[in-house]
Amino acid sequence: MCLTEHHLKYLQLEKFHIANYNLGAHYCRQQCEKSGVAIFVHNSLGFTNIDIAQHCKEQDIEICALKLSFGTHNICILTLYRAPSGNFSTFLLQLNIILQSLCTPRLHFIICGDININYLKESGNKSQLDNLSLPYNLASIINFPTRVQNASATAIDNIFIDVTQFESYMITPIISGVSDHDAQLLTICTDYSYVPTHKSKTVRKINKYTISDLIDKLSCKSWDSVFNCEDVNAMFNFFLNIYLRIFYSSFPLKKSN
| Total count of domains within the chain | 2
129/70 same-domain check = yes
Phi, psi of 23 (to 5 degrees): -75, 110
Q: How far is CA 145 from CA 116, 162, 177, in A?
A: 12, 21, 15
- The CATH number assigned to the domain holding 11 equals 3.60.10.10
52/98 same-domain check = yes
The CB-side HSE value for 92 (13 A sphere, CA atoms) comes to 15
For 157-175, write each residue's pLDDT tens digit: 999 999 888 878 899 999 8
Domain boundary among 132, 159, 188: 188
Q: Are 26 and 37 in contact (CB under 8 A)?
A: yes
Q: Which whole number is the average pLDDT over 46-55?
A: 94
- Residue 19, number of CB atoms within 10 A of its CB: 5
Q: Residue 227 corresponds to which amino acid? A: F
Residue 183 lies in a domain: yes
pTM for this one? Answer: 0.70
For 114-154, write each residue's pLDDT tens digit: 999 999 999 999 999 999 999 999 999 999 999 988 888 99
For 181-202, write each residue's pLDDT tens digit: 899 999 987 655 445 556 677 8
Residue 63: what pLDDT? 96
- Identify the domain containing residue 236 by its residue range: 201-256
Residue 231 lies in a domain: yes
Residue 2: what pLDDT? 40
142/215 same-domain check = no
29/117 same-domain check = yes
Phi, psi of 205 (to 5 degrees): -80, 100
